[in-house]
Structure 1
């Protein structure tokens, strides 16, 4: 992601115009205001007030929102819509519909949490990230997408970032020109949905054989991967990995496995670990650590080579941390088969 890669004098001027009451550049870390204090100071400024609607929304939402933004020990990044951004939303929805949102504590709270990213993400921190990167928010299982246009402007979903790096005691504020609204498109899909989407893509399809295997196995496998409340880690073999297995076994023998529901189900369960194990968790394991799988009594063995590459039962992990609503997928370059199958 090439976030904030083109700073200009315009951004500096905008920062001074948008938040005249809260310039904190000369303050020490101990003197910085919290994010909540910055919003209040700006919204109640005698001249050039900003964030007045944002403040009203925070005050109308669940008190946990204000508590989080006021917590001096928190580490948060807030994408704060301007008053003009809220005015555009009111015009689009109608004043009555907008007031209904303000009166709906749960919906309003979800919208506000969707504007907050855990951790302090300064402009300089994200220069090396890729265009289209999905970033977690405080709204569970919902992400924002960061993109760029040809002029280097930064967008959070469809909202343009117009001011950056307003430092706070508990994080940072970046100002955006539209209100972000979570939807089905901003929620992480389940593991099953990711496999289906990838396998049925018009270009660059992947996991086509994995999908066929899941569909041929006991329905409990698909149910587990589709359960939004599950917490699973899947080591997903590529189509090339399955092709190598077919070459090794022969097509007839492979088709026999597809037709044997019990054997196929056991092989697939052997690729699934209970709990969410991110890449940073895996690299902390000891070499040759045994990790339980959903195939009871058959753990996988995690190993590392001298270059730090990670292997699961000899299959190399080639892509990590594909997030899902119910866990995570790591892609491997071979199909792993439990003993006795």
Structure 2
């Protein structure tokens, strides 16, 4: 069943209230907050790449406080083991059986802090749970539940002692974005409340995990015209043939932007996706999925340059005002 205009209006109002609540702790970043929250409702994961002290951890905490679920933080270090993330099976001598002890990945919202500091072996432990929301340990599968959002952070400035995230793992992130520094007025407001070291602690839960799952299911029913689907397919195909790209957008990446666009349409009170939704989401949804040619990158080509070139090359279908 397709989302109705009335349901889209309700979705927009509820989403706005959630963003308003998070904005109390993460000031002046409504666009980024909206994008991260939309990613959760699209049942994807977020990679935040930014300099230290820009509020990456505060955003994750504020989102967890707004959603009436569980949250955990994993500080990634070179000696972190896969079992430290997923959990471990231990033999109970009294009960004479093996019991699974869940790791911190079993939370509604998981903050993977400085994810690029862990070894590739530990990073690979996240692949299954990020893609399928489940963990298999010793042949037994354990569900992560809904909602399930991984917010991973990495510092692009300090690269000593870090491991580059493999392309297969980058492809599991629905979006990659950065928060950036606040403007002067917002910075002044933040400094005025600097005595509160944890502003997220004062936030009240605005929605239950069950309601979040219902919103995700509702957003998935937004209408997408075949012309828009073809537009996305053509854009993805164009990235693979661009002269500056070694590896273009995968089919998983094309599916990801459609999922996110459905939520984005509902966020704006519409029950149908417009080509403009795709254009607005191309950068955060696809920039981390492109592997650039070394010579082109040396010449100054960036993922944003390639995506802008593709958007200019592929003509968007004529927008419809109703489904």
TM-score (norm 1): 0.24
Higher strand share: 1
The structure whose RCO (Cα within 8 Å, separation 6+) is larger is 2
Structure showing the higher helix proportion among its residues: 2
